[in-house]
Structures are given as structure tokens and as C-alpha cells.
Amino acid sequence: MLPTLAASGEVVVEDCLTHRLFPEKLARGDLLILESPVQRGYFVCKRLIGLPGDVVCVDPTGQLAPSTEHVVVPKGHIWISGDNAAGSRDSRMYGPVPMALIHGRLLARVSVLWFL
């Protein structure tokens, strides 16, 4: 999630409950922690771009698909994207992600240097 999150030196606070009790509280732009759809047991942090029923551009950068190609996010799925498009594996590559893979929503980040 460069440049939003540092590669090291930060601790994140995650809300693991709200999205399970109130899935309608998920909002476009939220940073989510979720299990990777291609590497089970591996967790990733991505930005929520599309909710079920949304029409999203498959790849706004035009690198992996024409920027004119759009898709409707199916029920029970979300569309996610990394902030560093050039170095990110996200929905542009593997399509809509099941909401069941969401582990939590990032609430805050704290610099480890602040504690020293």
C-alpha cells in the first residue's frame, strides 16, 4: 500500500467486528485487511473501490485492460485496488473478491518511532 502505508515502522489498528455486524458500513475508499484470494493464509491491505452492484472500471491505468472496460461487482463481492497500481496485485488481475475474505477495516496507523 505504498505510498499510503510505510513498508516498515508502522503499527495498524484494525476493526474486525463492524463489517461482520454491519456490512453496509463499508465505504468506498476504506482500507481493508483481507485474506489474499490467490495465496490463502496470506493477508493483504487494499483500498475498497467498488461495492456489490457498483459498475467499476477494470483498470483505470490501461496497463492490464482497456480503460474503457467496465464490470458490475456481483452480490457478495467487492472490488479492491492497491494504491501503488504499478506494483499491486488486486482486482484488476483477479476480479471481484468475495466479502467473506475481509478480515477487517484499518482504523488507524501509528508510527513505531512515536513509542521510542
Q: What is the pTM of this model?
A: 0.87
For the chain, the domains span 10-115
Q: Architecture of 10-115 per CATH?
A: Ribbon (2.10)
pLDDT in tens, 18-34: 989 999 999 999 999 99
What DSSP string describes the chain? -TTTS-SSSEEEEEE-SHHHH-GGG--TT-EEEEE-SSSTT-EEEEEEEE-TT-EEES-TTSSSS-TT-EEEPPTTEEEEE-SSGGG--SHHHH--EEGGGEEEEEEEEEEGGGG-
pLDDT in tens, 4-21: 666 666 788 899 999 899
